[in-house]
Structure 1
């Protein structure tokens, strides 16, 4: 989890149009991470809101800031659906 967070922050410093959505499983539990660049958040996209909604698909919850948020869950089988939902939500807000 720390590696993903460090990577996300490193990329954000370099890429103002960053959309970073990563799912991982640690000790059998799924984690969803969303990091957004400044230009993406300027369009009104909120990583915390995206994560809260997508996490439901892996029986979890989470939150965070407008540019960075994480969620944990109970069902690793739902992780891909949560990733897909996060990407869908972000894309819909950028149109």
Structure 2
């Protein structure tokens, strides 16, 4: 998975967010480096909140999480919400 490859290549200050839609079904993937997790960020909590914007749900670990939903129109807003959460911390 590309997220895990990036995490090993960039071990500090790394956020990976992907929003995709396949056959109209949106999905989100979030990966955080260990230093961001140590600062209190939690990929599972972030993706769970952002999934509301795609009418879905999700979760995961502090460093890696995924979500799926029903509304691909909300993907841009969901990705932006995750990016904003990290850049504000």
- Shorter-chain TM range is over 0.9
**CA contact under 8 A between 1:34 and 1:51: conserved in structure 2?**
yes
TM-score if structure 2 supplies the norm length?
Answer: 0.94
TM-score if structure 1 supplies the norm length?
Answer: 0.88
Higher helix residue share:
1
The equivalent residue for 1:14 is: 9
SS in 2 for 1:20: strand
Structure 1 unaligned runs (5+)?
1-5
Give 1:27-46 correspondences, 5 Å limit. 27-46=23-42
| CA RMSD, Structure 1 to Structure 2 (Å) | 0.8
The answer to whether the aligner puts 1:66 opposite 2:62 as a matched pair is: yes
Number of residue-to-residue matches in the alignment = 88
Moved more, 67-76 or 13-22: 13-22
Offset at 1:81? 0.6
Instruction: Give runs of ≥4 in structure 1 deviating > 2 Å.
Output: none
